[in-house]
Amino acid sequence: MSGLRVAVIGGGLAGVSAALAAADSGAEVVLFERRSRLGGLTWSFARKGLWFDNGQHVFLRCCTAYRSFLQRIGASDQVVIQPRLDVPVLAPGGVESSISRSDLPTPLHLAASLARYRHLTLWERASLARAVLPLMRLDADDPALDQVSFGEWLAGHGQSAHAVANLWDLIALPTLNVTSAEASLAMAVKVFRTGLLDDNDGGDMGWSAVPLRQLHAENATRALDRAGVELRFLTRVDHVAPTDDGGWTVTTEGDGGPSFPVDAAIVATPPRTAAQLMPEGAIGPVAGLGESPIVNIHLVLDRKVTDLPLAACVASPVQFVFDRTASSGVDSGQCLAISLSGADRFIGQRPEELVRTFHQALGDIFPAARNAVLVDGAVSREHAATFRPAPGTGALRPPARTSFPGLAVAGAWCDTGWPATMEGAVRSGNSAASVAVGHLSSSRSRGPTGDGSLLEGAAP
């Protein structure tokens, strides 16, 4: 495929995955990124000599595409994966429990943990089977499931509001970025089936041991350079348009800016930006996907207050807390990051108010934090961290292939079968590269049509 050029617009995980996959297939690839870095919504910022990540992006053992991506960019040794799922769940007042697995087959691998789960009543624990067993029989690809909310389904299967808040939402909220009440049943089935119920080790958690700028941006930049991908940073693409000969033109920095002729293009940007860049009708009404925010509060304390690498919380404004001491560069004391998914009620609050509120809430979870001095506090926000996977949104997520030959779209918001996760982003990039490379292969083998345009190839 030497000599055939592919443009990738956007340097997030979807764009980087697409660029690497296309380059590995033999295409000449140029990647345009408006920022000075790669990584998209996974980034880090420096403050007072320390590094903080914008969000605590975790993955699961079942995230095979993302784990392959880490291996491809040479970053597999910079993440931690639990040998087996074990998430401490804490509540104010010292009530502790955990969600953990054994080596038994599913769903028995969770049975012992849930039988001892102190954040549910005995009756609620006994009632879990009324939802778990039917959940294992549902098919996430059934379009009817996308018309029902997960919360509605749980209520119909014997799950109390207390059980939803103290168990089901501990998993649904961080993975879907909305509560069970707001989430599509189809997306929830995907999370619980693939992550917890299909394989007994699928839910083992992993996270970065280094700042995300190092894990994704720096490693990806080197990998793309080794693959021969041309990187154009600080370059804003204004539109992508078809040409008369079946190719595409990427125009940058306004109509008077330079244009780049390519044979195929992959738009790997947020949905609204993608719709603006591409010809009208390339994808459907993606604005209907909505947006859901994530907020993170980073607290630097003068002493260590917990030995836990991570914990979930109930009956507290804290959702998840992660120990980021080593990765941030703190050499005395402790750095804890509090991650808030579906953070609509927090997104507009002042940073100092959030720091004060969550420093106090942290003391209710870890009593040692009450005597710890707050050395520094910082807040990071992503207003449009993910699309909002409400009932009905499944039909709005476009496939990688657009209605224009040689034009593909990528992003965690596309129709990957996964929620808006790093796994979904990587899968979308790989699919988009298959569409673009398949088009180029078919175009080369078939040649021009009678009117001079190129035929669209069948991509896998």
CATH number for the domain running over 103-199: 1.10.405
Quote the pLDDT of residue 254. 65
Quote the pLDDT of residue 116. 97
Quote the pLDDT of residue 3. 75
Q: Tokens 């995230």 belong to which residue?
A: 63
Is the Cβ–Cβ distance between 396 and 286 less than 8 Å? yes
Q: H or E segment at 207?
A: strand 205-208
Same fold, 5-36+233-289+392-446 and 103-199: no
Quote the pLDDT of residue 1. 56
- Which pair of tokens denotes residue 214? 């190092």
Q: H or E segment at 257?
A: none
Distance, CA of 165 to CA of 119 (rounded, Å)? 10
Quote the pLDDT of residue 2. 61
CATH class, range 44-63+74-80+206-211+291-386:
alpha beta
Quote the pLDDT of residue 256. 65
CATH number for the domain running over 5-36+233-289+392-446: 3.50.50.60
Question: Over the chain (460 residues), what is each successive 10-residue block's mean pLDDT?
Answer: 87 98 97 97 96 96 98 98 98 95 96 97 98 96 97 98 98 98 98 96 98 98 98 96 95 80 97 96 94 98 98 98 98 97 97 97 97 97 97 97 97 97 98 93 54 29
Q: H or E segment at 230?
A: strand 230-232
Is the Cβ–Cβ distance between 398 and 415 less than 8 Å? yes
Q: What residue ranges do the domains of the chain occupy?
A: 5-36+233-289+392-446, 44-63+74-80+206-211+291-386, 103-199
DSSP string covering 377-395, please? EEEEEEEEEE----TTGGG
